[in-house]
Structure 1
Amino acid sequence: MSIGKLLAAPVACLMLATPAHADPYPSKPIRLIVPFPAGGGTDTVARMMAERLQQSLKQTVVVENRAGAGGTIGTSYAAQAEPDGYTIVLGISATMVMAPFLYPNATYTANQRFAALGQIGTASNMLVVNPAFPAHNLKELVAAARARPGQINYGSWGLGSGGHLCAEILMRAKGITMTHVPYKGTAPELADVLGGTIMVAMVDSTTSAPYVQAGKLRALAACTERSSNLPDVPGLKDEGVSFDSSFWYGLFAPAGTPAPVLSRLREEVGQILKQPAVAARLKDLGIQATNLSPAQFEEVVRRDYAGWGKLIREAGIKAE
């Protein structure tokens, strides 16, 4: 064998033994899981973030709706996804810190199964009625419920949802009872309250505001504080009903996602949320943009997990 061939053989062996470099992230489309049906407030926020992430990451971001069981089906799916940065989830306080106490089959907790990418903002849920319903303010609704205990139906976007819990807190504070009608999402719930199938509903301010502004719904109170897109509607705190846990939107990745990928996603999410156009759009949706670091957001998640868990246990609220 020639000297040239003898020298080439070790080089070839070294080339075969050297591992190929991984493709830079992201090298393929990213799925953004929304644990509610299309058309609701969570879906609206997710699609806005997906569009911005797609621009900044130079990669396709596909919104995938996986609804059911108060958001736990889609959230559980995301928790079990491959932690490679190609599956992320839009989380809200109801799915991340309330649902684990309400649904026995929820196989996740936010701090154990997810890494926070960033808090998008905080928002208020809204107590609304069909214009044909005689109550024009919360006091009149409370009086009607006291006169007809259990006979007034109210809707929410699911058992154990933020709207459901807000209504439970309201009823306990005012000593009234109404009958809960759970839906599989905000969109079908809104359709029924607009059509008069139910007359009272807890909905998110993101999707309800245009109908309130058009006179197709009447807003009685925001839960818990006034909403940026309906500032004239009093908050429950203004009505003497006070509790300290806010409702928020955030992005999460499965726990175990590699640190460089988490760092990239957190950086991109943070830069998106600093854009004035994004803050303005969120305000239009009734969401107050926040400027928390991922570590600060994770502390909010831990605090709310403890606070809502205590409230749910003491109130004996179940999703069944």
Structure 2
Amino acid sequence: MRKIAILGAQLFEGQRELQLFQSMNMEAVYYTCRDPLEIVDKLADVDGLLVNLEPVTAQLIHHLGNLKVIGRYGVGVDNIDLEACSGRGVAVINVPDYCIEEVAEHAVSFIFSLNRKLFTSSNLTRKGIWGNVSVLKPIYPIKDITLGVVGTGRIGMRVIQMMTAFGTNIIVHDPYLTQDDLPSGVKLVSFGQLLEASDIITIHCPLTPQTHHLFNTEAFRRMKQQPSLINVSRGSIINEQQLLAALDQELVSFAAVDVMETEPPLPDHPLLHHPKAIVTNHMAWYSVQAEIKLRDLLTTRVIDYLNGKPVPSIVNKPAIEK
């Protein structure tokens, strides 16, 4: 009988998954841990492993001699050592085809809130400042700002579609696109041009060696409009310490992020308490429907892989070729 371990310290209890695996005559157990190495003795003979943000290191892979497949709750796989998995012929499966609307809506909610300076206005109200708009100036109609979009995968492109309906001037940086790939009226620009022209920047690129700390002191100093910055992608695309300095120096007007470099952040992390920042708790992906879709798709794909059926979202090529 196939054995599956479901880890979910930062997600949810896996009762739905347990039932699906058991219906396919597979033994599944749910564990709560921050690091799978803490329970490596319990995982030693598993065929499949489902993880959220738990680190899957080469050391862990070395100890799991029977492992055949890893399922990642979500899109990004930067917490998984893909090279170690490929070397062992272990397939890594993600779910890139869920929560597109949810994350795009979260980003658009940030865009409108930042443009109307709602977070700043709320903070002023708490301090007893009422009816004084002079401290919020300037605020422009959404159609008169320039929105910079970094990365145009499914979510980034959906944000573009949503904001185009409001007549917003949109510029895009994505090294893998040509101008012909974008909707009419949306302009493809260099990263430097985007930094210099944007009033609000929203990040939708994956975390790779090339995008790690893409937003750093050098980038912040090129921001001529002192834009607001949104991140609903991966925390480490922004250098948080340098962002804090940029907020203090007014190179960046405001930061709205749903992801951080270390998750969960420590309670005293300065970004959580900065007057020019708001941090939501990595929940942009969530809706009732998105959670069900995520859990069902990932479980079904792991089951299919173990049963020798084709799976649409294996992310490491050596495993595909195996």
Question: Same fold judged by TM-score > 0.5?
Answer: no
Larger radius of gyration: 1
TM-score (norm. length: structure 2): 0.31
Q: Answer 1 or 2: higher relative contact order, Cα 8 Å, separation at least 6.
A: 1
TM-score (norm. length: structure 1): 0.31
